Structure 1
């Protein structure tokens, strides 16, 4: 039975800032999440519990600041001025988009299926690749399905604040915790952003290019005789092998004994990038 998730606001850690005109310029609101088994559950629970707008500020990012114990998380919600507020002028360039499907390299120790064995009585290694005389599984490097894409957007100088640049840096190396550009949670990795600006006049825009990579989520993934229920696109799957004997009892072989899915990237709210999802 799944745990009941409970969310509480931490009033004692609430931080708000105000500009010289008496308007809120930023806020950081922490929450405690109880009963969540994974980071995504904690983030989504806070997303549901927190308000989208705080006065004149808009919710920008949700980040896990601490995992207190197995099912308790501290999540920080950041509110800032809406980067879309008044951003699109009639003379500003249109955004541009690019993509490539060159893929990426991945080392695998396990095949999808063994197509043949020669001779017919050769040991069955359960899909393990490159098993040497000492029983080591060496594997091979393959091209994995990864799509890279980028978007270039133009921002007014008043919107590209130090806080916004810090936010982009903090989001680099995270995956989407909600749907983004048509992709499911966990499939998009934010690789970073680069910006340039010509001139220092208030009307001179920043040109910022955002870079992403996409790896599809997988379900019911076969690993030898094992079935992995779910692996998000940027999770890491590794396999532990155990000694076994071949069906004819003549050879010592290696077979998958256990498969592990590891979460190696934090999940984050890509709304903080300031581009439409």
Structure 2
């Protein structure tokens, strides 16, 4: 099993000599470790090794990746890339690993969010206060908003909106083939979750899968999946109509009647019915295998 064999010095560099040997290839810490800390959780770091004993970069890379030196994680961050260049001799190679807090481990994921809010056109208010000019009475529009020529114009309202970007590294065994997995992503895009997701934090119907981006490579692809979250609601009251149930991504709208206000005799708009339309189909988002660790040993 891999183990970190180097001994840190007070200046952050490492003891001279060999860190490890793998199939006759020697691995040595070349320039110690460096990094950048941030207050936003987006820190980075890098480590550099000199790998010698083979003129083949593939053999040298295998010695570093599969050998006794731990390179996949450092300081709570994950290895995102590994670059290499020819070393000081024909049989040596210099490898530099770049680490990021935003790169998940295989079968893991990281989350970034955006809660700047969405908007809807709302035509009926939760509460309405009327003020009339002296000597006149304000008609009761039954909470219809901005009624002009007998029709409510409504107002754009900011609503709770949670956009979730999940960066995940999917184990190779769940990909089958890059094209097949890509087709699966496409089929699931524009659907809501049929079962609870992410440790049951999101109940069925509250997550809308908006698609994914990234390179679907054959081995452990790292992709960014985008979800829109909206809570399911029950017991709503809109325009005097109560007992309304609205799934998070359903669309609710009101049908208005023209009625005569009993006090003023003026024509007013009054909600007659509330409709809740389901506009997205359901699907099993667990098929994406986000957060599923590999079950097949490497």
Residue 129 of structure 2 is aligned to residue 129 of structure 1: no
Could you tell me how far apart the structure 2 residues matched to 1:178 and 1:273 are?
A: 13
Q: Does 1:170 align with 2:187?
A: yes
Contact 1:228/1:259 (8 A) holds in 2: no
Name which one, 1 or 2, has greater alpha-carbon Rg.
2
Change in CA separation of 1:156 and 1:184 when aligned onto 2, cut-off 3 Å: closer
Deviations 1:217-259 (A, max 9, x none): 1111111121143100000001100011113142100100011
Give distance in 2, aligned partners of 1:117 and 1:174: 45
Residues 188 and 117 (structure 1), Cα distance of their counterparts in 2 relative to 1, 3 Å cut: farther
Change (3 A) 1:225 1:158: closer
For residue 163 of structure 1, give the secondary structure of its aligned residue in structure 2: helix
Q: Distance in 1 between matches of 2:197 and 2:129?
A: 38
Q: Structure 1: which 4+ aligned runs deviate by more than 6 Å?
A: none
Q: How many residues align?
A: 184
TM-score normalised by L of structure 1:
0.61
**3-state SS, counterpart of residue 166 of structure 1:** helix
- 1:142-221 to 2 correspondence within 5 Å? 142-156=157-171, 159-160=174-175, 161=177, 162-181=179-198, 182-196=201-215, 205-221=220-236
Q: Note the alpha carbon deviations across 1:172-209, whole angstroms, 9 max, x for none.
A: 01011111121111111111011226xx7x7x542100
What does residue range 260-275 of structure 1 map to in structure 2 within 5 Å? Answer: 260-275=275-290
Partner of 2:132: 118
- In structure 2, the gaps of 5 or more residues are 1-70, 73-78, 80-103, 293-298
Gaps in structure 1 of 5+ consecutive residues: 1-89
Contact 2:207 2:230 in 1 (8 A): yes
Root mean square deviation of aligned Cα:
2.3
What SS class does the counterpart of residue 153 from structure 1 fall into? strand
Pick aligned residue for 1:109 from 117, 123, 133: 123
Alignment partner of 1:100 out of 114, 131, 147: 114
- Tell me: CA distance 1:275–1:155, structure 2 relative to 1, closer, same or farther (3 Å): closer
Q: Deviations over 1:24-68 (max 9, x none)?
A: xxxxxxxxxxxxxxxxxxxxxxxxxxxxxxxxxxxxxxxxxxxxx
For normalisation by structure 2, the TM-score amounts to: 0.57
CA distance in 2 between partners of 1:191 and 1:126 (Å): 37
Q: Which structure 2 residues correspond to residues 5-154 of structure 1 after superposition, within 5 A? A: 91=72, 93-94=104-105, 95-119=109-133, 121-132=137-148, 134-154=149-169
> 1: distance between equivalents of 2:188 and 2:170?
18
1:232 aligned to 247, 255, 261, which one? 247
